[in-house]
Amino acid sequence: MDDPHVNAASAGRGEFYVSTALLQKANDGQLAGVLAHELAHDDLGHVAKAQPLGGGSGSDVVILDQIMPGSGALTPIAGSLITPGYSRNEEYAADRHGVDILKRAGYPTETMVNTLRWLTQMEGTNGGGFFATHPATGDRIEALRGVQ
Ligand SMILES: [Zn+2]
């Protein structure tokens, strides 16, 4: 995805999109953390749940994750319907399951927390007052403390 914001989306069936900004700014661990989180959404069935009921519309659903809360604009992916985000509980669940995925892949347990911290810093430098309206990232780091 050609997008100046750090963001990622999943289309189910193990298919993911990441923004060019994410690829440019993230180091290996941070990229792995974001991908593990996306993979976790897929693993936990969050993506399948978001598919349109009845199906047969022919248009793929791509779920834009609130990797960086507040970065709304996204270049549309051709032929796909982009739906915004997951519920808060799904985000927490994806973070927790993401830690397991990272462990299995041989990454240190703190990779996910480090990734969230890095995202918090990015939010800060991006301005826009995300912290006023979207305190979620700090909460997510807090929620992962018990998991490590
Ligand atoms: Zn998510």
From first to last of the 148 residues of the chain, give the pLDDT tens digit. 777 777 787 777 778 888 888 888 899 999 999 899 988 988 998 877 765 544 444 455 666 675 554 444 444 454 555 565 677 788 889 889 999 999 999 999 899 989 888 877 776 544 433 333 444 677 788 888 876 5
Identify the pLDDT of residue 46.
84
Q: CB within 8 A of 28, min separation 6: which ones?
A: none
Q: Is 11 helix (H, G, I), strand (E, B) or coil?
A: strand
Identify the pLDDT of residue 68.
53
Ligand 1 centroid to residue 66 C-alpha, Å: 6
Ligand 1 centroid to residue 9 C-alpha, Å: 8
Ligand 1 centroid to residue 35 C-alpha, Å: 10
Ligand 1 centroid to residue 38 C-alpha, Å: 6
What interhelical angle do 111-126 and 28-43 show, nearest 10?
110
Ligand 1 centroid to residue 135 C-alpha, Å: 15
Identify the pLDDT of residue 101.
95
Ligand 1 centroid to residue 87 C-alpha, Å: 9
Identify the pLDDT of residue 48.
73
Closest CA to 63 of 109, 8, 122, 118: 8
Ligand 1 centroid to residue 54 C-alpha, Å: 25
Ligand 1 centroid to residue 10 C-alpha, Å: 9
Ligand 1 centroid to residue 120 C-alpha, Å: 15
